[in-house]
Structure 1
Amino acid sequence: MFSLQTIFGQGNQFYSLLEQAAVAAHDSTKALHAMLRESNREPALDAFKLARQREREAADRISHELVNSFITPIEREDIEALGSALYKIPKQVEKFADRYALATQHLAHIDFAPRAAMLEKAADVVVRMVRQLPKMKLEPMKALNDELRALENEADRLMLELYRDIYSGKLDPVQMFLLKEFFEILEKAIDRCREAGVVAYEIVLKNS
């Protein structure tokens, strides 16, 4: 006798699509870190557009599969929540890159690269968490969740250091406005990684 999973499939394509979305998000953070390390060059935005396009394609395929699949390996609401959280990461990164490209002349003295490195590390942890989902093992996922939380805390500390520049009294009003805006975008990008990690962790908590 054939089971329903044999007839309709096990829905494991969702794990693959979620991984594709996570990798695209990670690639966008790598591109940002590379751009900020080479701040003496004209920013190139093609890598961010490509990562966002890949993310959109993965999101569209997830939505399509949710409509057409009889069986999903985890709850549909969880797939949607994780897909949505992953989608927001490269969106935030591209927002930073687009605005940075327009304001580089005002930001030459600010080194964003260490903060971008933290973002890249956070996105890498998210990829590893998504790859852990099919195994549904709580301990490895908890370790990754703790790692992501530690990165978020370190990123918060680095952001506070940058805020000292804003309130130092050495910057003109335009620079102060721009720095505050860029800090908040970068901080939100790290928050997006944390949100995706929390969703992945909670999925395993429910299903392990």
Structure 2
Amino acid sequence: MFSLQTIFGSGKQFFTLLDEAAVAAHDSTKALYQMMKAADRQPALDAFKLARQRERTASEKIGQALVDSFMTPLEREDIEALGSALYKIPKQVEKFADRYSLATQHLAHIDFAPRAAMLEQAAGVVVEMVHGLRHMNLDKMTVLNEKLRSIENEADRLMLELYRDIYSGRLDHLQMFLLKEFFEILEKAIDRCREAGVVVYQITLKNS
């Protein structure tokens, strides 16, 4: 006799696929940070495109698994929301890398590494949170959620410092434009991490 678990599936594949999506997103931020702290800062777009493709593949598998599965370990809407939030992280990182490759000659004087490091940290926290969905430990998830919030707050503070530089009068118009555009892309990428973390935290609240 087949058990219900055999017929419907245990749903573990969803946790695995969400883990894969989160790790792919994190890897894209790692590639960006490594590029920004390198001496020549030459863009290596293959690393970003590979991470994005892994994320896209995981997202497609999640969608197909939702179609194929009768039962899911989490509500379908929550799985879809988290998959969508994770998908947006490497998309934003790749946007930065693609544009950076076109403007490298104008950006040698700008140090993106500290902000890229914060983005990498935020994506790392998201990986921990997504992996924690297996256990639904609200206390641990609350700590991680607060850590992600702190990174976001620090990023906001650094953005204020950036605007101080922009309006200082020391930069020409092109430098002002590029500085604002690229830091805003990084800020949005951190926001994407925060959004993914919020979805995970809400799922945990609902199921703990």
- Bin for the TM-score computed over the shorter chain: over 0.9
User: What secondary structure, in the 3-state scheme, does the structure 1 residue paired with 2:71 have?
Assistant: coil
Matches within 5 A, 1:177-192: 177-192=177-192
User: Which whole-Å CA distance do the structure 2 matches of 1:205 and 1:169 have between them?
Assistant: 48
User: Which whole-Å CA distance do the structure 2 matches of 1:93 and 1:7 have between them?
Assistant: 40
Task: Return the offset for 1:2.
Answer: 5.5
Tell me which residue corresponds to 1:95.
95
Tell me which residue corresponds to 1:111.
111
Instruction: In structure 2, list runs of 5 or more residues that go unmatched.
Output: none
Q: Is the 8 A contact 1:39 1:108 kept in 2?
A: no
Tell me which residue corresponds to 1:28.
28
For 1:32, the aligned partner's letter is L
Tell me which residue corresponds to 1:126.
126
Matches within 5 A, 1:23-172: 23-172=23-172
Answer with 170-179 or 185-194: which moved more.
170-179
User: Which whole-Å CA distance do the structure 1 matches of 2:41 and 2:93 have between them?
Assistant: 19
**Structure 1, residues 85-112: CA drift from partner, whole Å, max 9, x if none?**
0000000000001111111111111101
User: Which whole-Å CA distance do the structure 2 matches of 1:47 and 1:157 have between them?
Assistant: 29
**TM-score scaled by structure 1?**
0.97
Task: Return the offset for 1:177.
Answer: 1.0
The alignment covers a number of residue pairs equal to 208
User: Which whole-Å CA distance do the structure 2 matches of 1:203 and 1:5 have between them?
Assistant: 22
**Structure 1, residues 40-97: CA drift from partner, whole Å, max 9, x if none?**
2421111000000000000000000000001100000000000000000000000001
Task: Return the offset for 1:5.
Answer: 2.6
User: Which whole-Å CA distance do the structure 1 matches of 2:162 and 2:74 have between them?
Assistant: 41
User: Which whole-Å CA distance do the structure 1 matches of 2:3 and 2:202 have between them?
Assistant: 28
Query: 1:206 aligned to 2:206?
Result: yes
For 1:207, the aligned partner's letter is N
User: Which whole-Å CA distance do the structure 2 matches of 1:69 and 1:15 have between them?
Assistant: 14
**Over aligned residues, Cα RMSD in angstroms?**
1.2
Percent identity over the alignment? 77
Instruction: In structure 1, list runs of 5 or more residues that go unmatched.
Output: none
Task: Return the offset for 1:4.
Answer: 2.4
For 1:121, the aligned partner's letter is Q
Inter-CA distance 42–123: structure 2 relative to 1 (3 Å threshold) = same
Task: Return the offset for 1:39.
Answer: 5.0
Answer with 169-178 or 19-28: which moved more.
169-178
**TM-score scaled by structure 2?**
0.97
User: Which whole-Å CA distance do the structure 1 matches of 2:127 and 2:81 have between them?
Assistant: 16
Tell me which residue corresponds to 1:11.
11
User: Which whole-Å CA distance do the structure 1 matches of 2:103 and 2:26 have between them?
Assistant: 24
Q: Is the 8 A contact 1:152 1:194 kept in 2?
A: yes
User: What secondary structure, in the 3-state scheme, does the structure 1 residue paired with 2:196 have?
Assistant: helix
